[in-house]
Amino acid sequence: MPIFRPAAVTVAALLSTLLHAAAVPVLAATTAAAAGEGKVLHMFLSTSEAGLDPAVGSDLASLSLLENLFDPLLRYDYLARPLKLQGNTATALPTVEEGGRSYTFHIRPGIHFTPDPAFKGKQREVTAQDYVYSLTRLYDPALKSPWSFLFDGKLLGDAALKTNFSVDTRIPGLQALDRYTLRIRLVEPDNNFLFYMATPATGVVAREVIEAYPGQAGNHPVGTGPFMLGEWKHSDRIVLLKNPASTAVFHGTPANTPADKAIDAALEGKTLPRVDRVEVKIAEEFQGRMLGFLNGEYDYLEQVPESMTEMVIRDGKLKPELAARGMELYRFPVLQTYYMWMNMQDPLIGGYGKDKLALRRAIALSYNSAEDIALLKKGFAIKAESPLPPNVLGYDPGYRSPVRYDPALANALLDKYGYARRDPGGFRTQPNGANLTLQMSSEATVSGRLRDELWRKCLNAIGLRVVFKSDKKTEIIKASRLGKVQMFESNWVADFPDGENFYQLLYGPNAGRANYARFDLPAYNERYEQARLLTDGPARQKLYFEMNQLIHAYNPWVPLTQVLSADIRQPWLKNYKRHPVELTQWRYLDVDVAERARTLRAK
């Protein structure tokens, strides 16, 4: 249908222009790099970064940068599938004792923070006490860390950190046994604890730096990662420089596929990173990102924007003219679920009575997933049957949602449960005859407007009037946490590859945080609490099945899609492999500068 086509973009003409345009600025930059500036990665971030403090940063742009500036104890093995953790600043995975309640990490000697005036000209080595300090900061009420939930109530004795907080408070759950030995003790076993220790939030910081810039730590990132900050113009341009003190060396699991074997052969035993600089631009507009990539300004493009798919893909394959330039297309199942949530405390659509349940169920039944996937996602998605995307621990490939696209059933439900009357415009009223107008918040973007039209069509087909309130996503999320949004489409990208990370989005006590729907059902909460104590297996699978059924019974969510990302890389980029959890691969990537120059010259 024409309404779902990208507006005001003449795809063929635009692509033709780009394919034949001269790339003088890019060639000039490439020539300069070849002349002595070293190897440079050219990247973009799709949104502006908020700040670069590991305890605070939670947006994708900030996390992408934090991954490269700061070091958690553990990191994912780059090539291993299924996912596997390995030591990072820790020499190896920790020793686990006390039935999964005690973890002892041994930190590699000789890791140093990058230089900063706070160190008064001295080299500053990382110690176990630095990790005690860094994890303790997550409890600081002044920071309002969005990551405190990872440890709150889980570390032995952490109640002392929640009363008259001080970073100097010592608890039995966080102890530096000696200069290089850290022991973390839990109240109860937590199957996902080691995943937490690989998140950017647990990256190590130096107390001297934090205290040298009170309240401004996010503007002075000083870490131990593979890169250090070179230049930074907020919301515009960031340059990362190779950390000359980096001691990271690549060691991976033996690869299985030919592509992985080639990467493994290129990296095994080599120091990281492999490039000298990473130049990052903030590119918020879809069209600008696409044109920049086609013009050779960026080394790879992840998740081709839906509205731009036809520029580069035909019949599910990269267009021949792009393949001829050496570009390669990858399909990647992102650990991400798109969903539309409804506020369970909203007076119009919230509540647990049969009439409100019928209204939400009808809304769910009206959603046309086939049309969404074909027209908006351009075929690069699958229908979300539950909150869990494929490849997350706990995902059941055989599970099918009992709530399918069925507008006839939706109409019948609404007629039966009090919504049969219509106003003069032909739209349904509330059971008491009052006006029934749904308000869905949406992003003020081209993609957001296309989503609005899909929902308008679906809801109007069952007699429901809907209006859309457009705003920036950051503002909508702020209002959502306060319970002031009625309905909104959102998505969740896995912080760690376990089902708990998704099911916690509907856990009652998380209302006001990640539980935007403010769903609070005792039967669901009880099963969630039981499941989080279990490892992946039949017992937990049974609980997840029952939780799925409760979600479909009460419909706080309409699960939408799970994306099959279309990723494209330039021919000069080496060692590229998309990771399911880590946001960037910059430390592993290499650039063939001569090939870049040849490719761009041949355009």
pLDDT tens digit string along 97-116?
999 999 999 999 999 999 99
Task: pLDDT band for 37, please (50, 70, 90 cuts).
Answer: low
User: Rounded to the nearest 10 degrees, what angle do helices 286-294 and 11-20 cross at?
Assistant: 40
Are β-strands 95-97 and 102-106 bridged in parallel, bridged antiparallel, or unpaired?
A: antiparallel
Task: pLDDT band for 551, please (50, 70, 90 cuts).
Answer: very high
The confidence score (pLDDT) of residue 146 equals 85
Percent of the chain with pLDDT over 70: 94
Task: pLDDT band for 384, please (50, 70, 90 cuts).
Answer: very high
Task: pLDDT band for 23, please (50, 70, 90 cuts).
Answer: very low
**What mean pLDDT comes out for the span 332-355?**
96
Note the pTM of the prediction, 2 decimals.
Answer: 0.80
| Residue spans of beta strands (DSSP E) within 501-575 | 557-559, 561-569, 573-574
Cβ–Cβ < 8 Å for 199, 496: yes
pLDDT tens digit string along 148-187?
989 999 999 999 999 989 999 999 999 999 999 999 999 9
Q: How far is CA 356 from each of CA 73, 152, 251, 587, rounded to the nearest angstrom? A: 47, 34, 55, 51
Task: pLDDT band for 27, please (50, 70, 90 cuts).
Answer: very low
pLDDT tens digit string along 452-509?
999 999 999 999 999 999 998 878 988 998 999 999 999 998 889 999 999 999 999 9
* Size of the chain, expressed as the number of residues it contains: 603
**What mean pLDDT comes out for the span 269-278?**
97
The confidence score (pLDDT) of residue 241 equals 98
The confidence score (pLDDT) of residue 28 equals 37
Using the Cα atoms of residue 208, residue 495, residue 504 and residue 61 in order, give the sign of their dihedral: positive
Q: Residue 517 pLDDT > 70, yes or no?
A: yes
Range in 32-36, 210-214, 533-537 the model is least confident about = 32-36
